[in-house]
Structure 1
Amino acid sequence: MKRLMLAGTFSALATVVTAGDVAPDDVVYGEYGDVTASLSGVAGDPAAGKEIMVARGKGNCIACHQVTALEEYPFHGEVGPSLDGVGEYRTAEELRGILANPKMTYEGTIMPAFYRVSGFTRPGDAFTGKAAEGPLSPLLTAQEIEDVVAYLQTLTD
Protein backbone atom coordinates (compact mmCIF):
# COMPACT_ATOMS: atom_id res chain seq x y z
CA MET A 1 0.00 0.00 0.00
CA LYS A 2 2.81 2.44 0.92
CA ARG A 3 4.61 1.74 -2.38
CA LEU A 4 1.45 2.49 -4.34
CA MET A 5 0.93 5.72 -2.42
CA LEU A 6 4.54 6.81 -2.97
CA ALA A 7 4.33 5.97 -6.67
CA GLY A 8 1.20 8.09 -6.96
CA THR A 9 2.91 10.96 -5.14
CA PHE A 10 5.94 10.84 -7.41
CA SER A 11 3.82 10.67 -10.57
CA ALA A 12 1.78 13.67 -9.38
CA LEU A 13 4.97 15.65 -8.80
CA ALA A 14 6.29 14.60 -12.21
CA THR A 15 3.36 16.35 -13.86
CA VAL A 16 4.34 19.58 -12.12
CA VAL A 17 8.13 19.52 -12.47
CA THR A 18 9.28 18.17 -15.82
CA ALA A 19 12.79 17.00 -16.67
CA GLY A 20 13.95 20.41 -17.94
CA ASP A 21 12.46 22.41 -15.07
CA VAL A 22 14.38 23.79 -12.13
CA ALA A 23 12.78 22.19 -9.07
CA PRO A 24 11.20 24.72 -6.67
CA ASP A 25 13.71 23.99 -3.92
CA ASP A 26 16.62 24.34 -6.38
CA VAL A 27 15.82 27.88 -7.57
CA VAL A 28 18.86 30.15 -7.14
CA TYR A 29 17.98 33.66 -5.99
CA GLY A 30 20.25 36.67 -6.33
CA GLU A 31 20.99 39.09 -3.53
CA TYR A 32 17.76 41.03 -4.18
CA GLY A 33 15.57 38.04 -5.03
CA ASP A 34 16.14 37.99 -8.79
CA VAL A 35 16.28 34.65 -10.63
CA THR A 36 18.63 34.76 -13.60
CA ALA A 37 18.01 31.31 -15.07
CA SER A 38 14.75 30.35 -16.75
CA LEU A 39 12.80 27.92 -14.59
CA SER A 40 11.72 25.84 -17.57
CA GLY A 41 14.39 26.44 -20.20
CA VAL A 42 11.59 27.40 -22.61
CA ALA A 43 10.68 30.95 -23.58
CA GLY A 44 7.47 32.23 -22.04
CA ASP A 45 4.29 32.73 -24.06
CA PRO A 46 2.73 36.14 -23.33
CA ALA A 47 -0.76 34.98 -24.42
CA ALA A 48 -0.64 32.05 -22.00
CA GLY A 49 0.70 34.40 -19.32
CA LYS A 50 -2.26 36.72 -19.80
CA GLU A 51 -4.65 33.81 -19.26
CA ILE A 52 -2.87 32.87 -16.03
CA MET A 53 -3.02 36.48 -14.84
CA VAL A 54 -6.83 36.48 -15.03
CA ALA A 55 -7.62 32.83 -14.21
CA ARG A 56 -9.16 32.55 -10.77
CA GLY A 57 -7.91 28.97 -10.39
CA LYS A 58 -4.33 29.86 -11.34
CA GLY A 59 -2.42 33.11 -10.87
CA ASN A 60 -5.40 35.43 -10.50
CA CYS A 61 -2.97 38.34 -10.35
CA ILE A 62 -5.73 40.88 -10.95
CA ALA A 63 -7.33 39.93 -7.64
CA CYS A 64 -4.60 42.03 -5.99
CA HIS A 65 -3.15 44.12 -8.84
CA GLN A 66 -4.72 46.62 -11.21
CA VAL A 67 -3.71 46.20 -14.88
CA THR A 68 -5.21 48.65 -17.37
CA ALA A 69 -4.44 46.29 -20.29
CA LEU A 70 -6.75 43.74 -18.64
CA GLU A 71 -9.62 46.11 -17.87
CA GLU A 72 -12.12 43.90 -19.73
CA TYR A 73 -11.71 41.41 -16.86
CA PRO A 74 -13.59 42.51 -13.71
CA PHE A 75 -12.58 42.85 -10.09
CA HIS A 76 -9.07 44.30 -10.10
CA GLY A 77 -7.57 44.56 -6.65
CA GLU A 78 -5.80 47.37 -4.89
CA VAL A 79 -3.77 45.31 -2.42
CA GLY A 80 -0.66 45.16 -4.59
CA PRO A 81 0.81 47.87 -6.78
CA SER A 82 -0.53 48.57 -10.27
CA LEU A 83 1.32 46.50 -12.85
CA ASP A 84 0.95 49.14 -15.57
CA GLY A 85 4.38 49.72 -17.10
CA VAL A 86 6.06 46.97 -15.03
CA GLY A 87 7.88 45.74 -18.16
CA GLU A 88 9.71 49.08 -18.30
CA TYR A 89 11.10 49.15 -14.78
CA ARG A 90 11.49 45.43 -13.90
CA THR A 91 13.74 42.95 -15.67
CA ALA A 92 12.66 39.41 -16.52
CA GLU A 93 15.01 38.19 -13.79
CA GLU A 94 13.38 40.42 -11.17
CA LEU A 95 9.86 39.45 -12.27
CA ARG A 96 10.75 35.74 -12.24
CA GLY A 97 12.07 36.03 -8.68
CA ILE A 98 9.08 38.00 -7.45
CA LEU A 99 6.68 35.44 -8.90
CA ALA A 100 8.63 32.42 -7.66
CA ASN A 101 9.03 33.71 -4.10
CA PRO A 102 8.33 37.42 -3.49
CA LYS A 103 9.59 37.21 0.08
CA MET A 104 13.12 37.02 -1.31
CA THR A 105 12.61 40.57 -2.64
CA TYR A 106 10.01 41.98 -0.24
CA GLU A 107 10.36 40.30 3.15
CA GLY A 108 7.00 41.32 4.61
CA THR A 109 4.85 40.95 1.51
CA ILE A 110 1.54 39.09 1.58
CA MET A 111 1.92 38.09 -2.07
CA PRO A 112 1.94 34.29 -2.37
CA ALA A 113 5.03 32.43 -3.54
CA PHE A 114 3.90 30.81 -6.78
CA TYR A 115 6.90 28.46 -7.12
CA ARG A 116 7.70 27.37 -3.59
CA VAL A 117 6.98 24.02 -1.94
CA SER A 118 8.81 24.07 1.39
CA GLY A 119 9.52 26.26 4.40
CA PHE A 120 5.87 27.00 5.11
CA THR A 121 4.33 27.12 8.55
CA ARG A 122 1.36 24.76 8.48
CA PRO A 123 0.15 25.21 4.91
CA GLY A 124 -3.53 24.57 4.35
CA ASP A 125 -5.16 21.92 2.19
CA ALA A 126 -6.91 24.15 -0.35
CA PHE A 127 -10.04 25.60 1.25
CA THR A 128 -10.76 22.75 3.65
CA GLY A 129 -9.46 24.45 6.78
CA LYS A 130 -7.19 21.47 7.42
CA ALA A 131 -3.41 21.25 7.29
CA ALA A 132 -1.91 19.87 4.10
CA GLU A 133 -0.68 16.30 4.09
CA GLY A 134 2.12 14.98 1.91
CA PRO A 135 4.31 16.91 -0.50
CA LEU A 136 3.09 20.25 -1.82
CA SER A 137 2.96 21.26 -5.47
CA PRO A 138 3.80 24.82 -6.50
CA LEU A 139 0.86 27.09 -7.30
CA LEU A 140 2.21 27.57 -10.84
CA THR A 141 4.46 25.36 -12.93
CA ALA A 142 7.89 26.51 -14.09
CA GLN A 143 6.50 27.17 -17.57
CA GLU A 144 3.55 29.11 -16.20
CA ILE A 145 5.97 31.36 -14.31
CA GLU A 146 7.87 31.95 -17.57
CA ASP A 147 4.59 32.69 -19.37
CA VAL A 148 3.54 35.29 -16.78
CA VAL A 149 7.00 36.89 -16.93
CA ALA A 150 6.67 37.11 -20.74
CA TYR A 151 3.25 38.77 -20.39
CA LEU A 152 4.42 41.23 -17.74
CA GLN A 153 7.28 42.27 -20.01
CA THR A 154 4.68 43.40 -22.58
CA LEU A 155 3.29 45.95 -20.09
CA THR A 156 5.50 48.85 -21.08
CA ASP A 157 3.18 51.87 -21.17
Structure 2
Amino acid sequence: MSPYLQNPPPARPRLVAHLLTRLAPVAGEEDLAALIEPLPDNVLAGALQLDERATLHSLKAAARRARPVDEKKVVTHDGATWPVPRERMTDIHAIVARMGEDIASLARDAQDMEVRTSALVELGWPPAAIDAYGKRATRVAQTLLTLDEEGV
Protein backbone atom coordinates (compact mmCIF):
# COMPACT_ATOMS: atom_id res chain seq x y z
CA MET A 1 0.00 0.00 0.00
CA SER A 2 1.31 3.42 -0.86
CA PRO A 3 2.36 5.79 1.93
CA TYR A 4 -0.13 8.35 0.57
CA LEU A 5 -3.07 6.00 1.19
CA GLN A 6 -1.80 5.09 4.65
CA ASN A 7 -1.39 8.70 5.69
CA PRO A 8 -3.41 11.03 3.42
CA PRO A 9 -2.76 14.77 3.70
CA PRO A 10 -5.27 16.77 5.73
CA ALA A 11 -8.17 18.37 3.86
CA ARG A 12 -7.51 21.99 3.02
CA PRO A 13 -10.37 24.48 3.50
CA ARG A 14 -9.45 26.48 0.36
CA LEU A 15 -9.54 23.37 -1.84
CA VAL A 16 -12.76 22.18 -0.21
CA ALA A 17 -14.34 25.62 -0.75
CA HIS A 18 -13.35 25.58 -4.41
CA LEU A 19 -14.75 22.09 -4.98
CA LEU A 20 -18.00 22.76 -3.13
CA THR A 21 -18.51 26.04 -4.97
CA ARG A 22 -18.21 24.25 -8.29
CA LEU A 23 -20.32 21.25 -7.28
CA ALA A 24 -23.12 22.87 -5.25
CA PRO A 25 -25.11 24.22 -8.22
CA VAL A 26 -24.99 20.95 -10.18
CA ALA A 27 -24.77 18.16 -7.61
CA GLY A 28 -27.72 16.71 -5.75
CA GLU A 29 -27.98 16.92 -1.98
CA GLU A 30 -27.09 13.24 -1.59
CA ASP A 31 -23.87 13.71 -3.56
CA LEU A 32 -22.95 16.74 -1.48
CA ALA A 33 -23.77 14.85 1.70
CA ALA A 34 -21.41 12.06 0.63
CA LEU A 35 -18.66 14.65 0.11
CA ILE A 36 -19.27 16.51 3.34
CA GLU A 37 -19.75 13.54 5.68
CA PRO A 38 -16.06 12.59 6.06
CA LEU A 39 -14.89 16.20 6.44
CA PRO A 40 -13.96 17.42 9.90
CA ASP A 41 -16.28 20.22 11.11
CA ASN A 42 -13.45 22.77 11.19
CA VAL A 43 -12.57 22.14 7.53
CA LEU A 44 -16.19 22.51 6.44
CA ALA A 45 -16.62 25.70 8.47
CA GLY A 46 -13.35 27.07 7.08
CA ALA A 47 -14.45 26.28 3.54
CA LEU A 48 -17.73 28.13 4.00
CA GLN A 49 -15.92 31.17 5.42
CA LEU A 50 -13.40 31.26 2.58
CA ASP A 51 -15.86 31.20 -0.27
CA GLU A 52 -19.20 32.87 0.28
CA ARG A 53 -20.19 32.17 -3.32
CA ALA A 54 -20.96 28.58 -2.33
CA THR A 55 -24.62 27.76 -2.39
CA LEU A 56 -25.01 27.83 1.36
CA HIS A 57 -28.56 26.51 1.29
CA SER A 58 -27.48 23.38 -0.60
CA LEU A 59 -24.39 22.93 1.55
CA LYS A 60 -26.30 23.31 4.81
CA ALA A 61 -28.99 20.89 3.63
CA ALA A 62 -26.33 18.39 2.64
CA ALA A 63 -24.56 18.84 5.97
CA ARG A 64 -27.81 18.17 7.82
CA ARG A 65 -28.27 14.96 5.85
CA ALA A 66 -24.67 13.91 6.47
CA ARG A 67 -24.94 14.58 10.20
CA PRO A 68 -28.40 13.43 11.31
CA VAL A 69 -30.24 15.53 13.87
CA ASP A 70 -31.48 13.93 17.04
CA GLU A 71 -35.25 13.80 16.50
CA LYS A 72 -36.26 13.56 20.15
CA LYS A 73 -38.18 16.40 21.76
CA VAL A 74 -35.95 19.24 22.94
CA VAL A 75 -36.79 21.40 25.94
CA THR A 76 -35.77 25.03 25.54
CA HIS A 77 -36.51 28.25 27.39
CA ASP A 78 -39.57 28.62 25.11
CA GLY A 79 -40.90 25.18 26.00
CA ALA A 80 -40.68 21.75 24.42
CA THR A 81 -40.25 21.51 20.66
CA TRP A 82 -39.61 18.87 18.05
CA PRO A 83 -36.55 19.67 15.89
CA VAL A 84 -37.67 17.83 12.74
CA PRO A 85 -40.92 18.28 10.78
CA ARG A 86 -43.28 15.30 11.00
CA GLU A 87 -42.90 14.36 7.34
CA ARG A 88 -39.08 14.15 7.62
CA MET A 89 -38.88 12.09 10.83
CA THR A 90 -37.09 8.74 10.59
CA ASP A 91 -36.45 7.72 14.23
CA ILE A 92 -39.16 5.17 15.07
CA HIS A 93 -39.22 5.99 18.78
CA ALA A 94 -39.52 9.72 18.14
CA ILE A 95 -42.26 9.13 15.55
CA VAL A 96 -44.31 7.01 17.96
CA ALA A 97 -43.87 9.51 20.81
CA ARG A 98 -44.77 12.54 18.70
CA MET A 99 -47.68 10.85 16.94
CA GLY A 100 -48.91 9.68 20.35
CA GLU A 101 -48.84 13.25 21.62
CA ASP A 102 -50.73 14.40 18.52
CA ILE A 103 -53.38 11.70 18.92
CA ALA A 104 -53.79 12.55 22.62
CA SER A 105 -54.13 16.25 21.78
CA LEU A 106 -56.70 15.54 19.07
CA ALA A 107 -58.61 13.23 21.43
CA ARG A 108 -58.68 15.93 24.14
CA ASP A 109 -60.03 18.43 21.61
CA ALA A 110 -62.65 15.97 20.33
CA GLN A 111 -63.60 14.86 23.87
CA ASP A 112 -63.28 11.19 22.86
CA MET A 113 -60.73 8.72 21.49
CA GLU A 114 -62.16 8.94 17.97
CA VAL A 115 -59.27 10.42 15.98
CA ARG A 116 -59.43 10.17 12.21
CA THR A 117 -56.43 9.47 10.01
CA SER A 118 -57.28 12.61 8.03
CA ALA A 119 -56.69 14.71 11.16
CA LEU A 120 -53.17 13.29 11.46
CA VAL A 121 -52.53 13.88 7.75
CA GLU A 122 -53.60 17.52 8.22
CA LEU A 123 -50.96 17.83 10.95
CA GLY A 124 -48.33 16.70 8.45
CA TRP A 125 -48.04 12.96 9.09
CA PRO A 126 -47.46 10.88 5.95
CA PRO A 127 -50.13 8.15 5.54
CA ALA A 128 -47.38 5.51 5.42
CA ALA A 129 -46.16 6.58 8.88
CA ILE A 130 -49.70 6.49 10.23
CA ASP A 131 -50.18 2.96 8.86
CA ALA A 132 -46.84 1.78 10.22
CA TYR A 133 -46.86 3.38 13.69
CA GLY A 134 -50.47 4.41 14.35
CA LYS A 135 -51.32 1.47 16.64
CA ARG A 136 -48.26 2.02 18.84
CA ALA A 137 -48.89 5.77 18.89
CA THR A 138 -52.50 5.15 19.95
CA ARG A 139 -51.25 3.15 22.95
CA VAL A 140 -48.93 6.05 23.84
CA ALA A 141 -51.88 8.44 23.52
CA GLN A 142 -54.03 6.25 25.79
CA THR A 143 -51.27 6.27 28.40
CA LEU A 144 -50.94 10.05 28.18
CA LEU A 145 -54.70 10.52 28.55
CA THR A 146 -54.78 8.13 31.51
CA LEU A 147 -52.00 10.10 33.20
CA ASP A 148 -53.96 13.30 32.55
CA GLU A 149 -57.03 11.82 34.22
CA GLU A 150 -54.97 10.75 37.23
CA GLY A 151 -53.47 14.22 37.48
CA VAL A 152 -49.90 13.09 36.99
For Structure 1 versus Structure 2, the TM-score category normalised by the shorter chain is under 0.3
Q: Which has the larger radius of gyration?
A: 2
Q: Which has the higher contact order (CA 8 A, sep 6+)?
A: 1
Q: TM-score, normalised by structure 2?
A: 0.26
Q: TM-score, normalised by structure 1?
A: 0.25
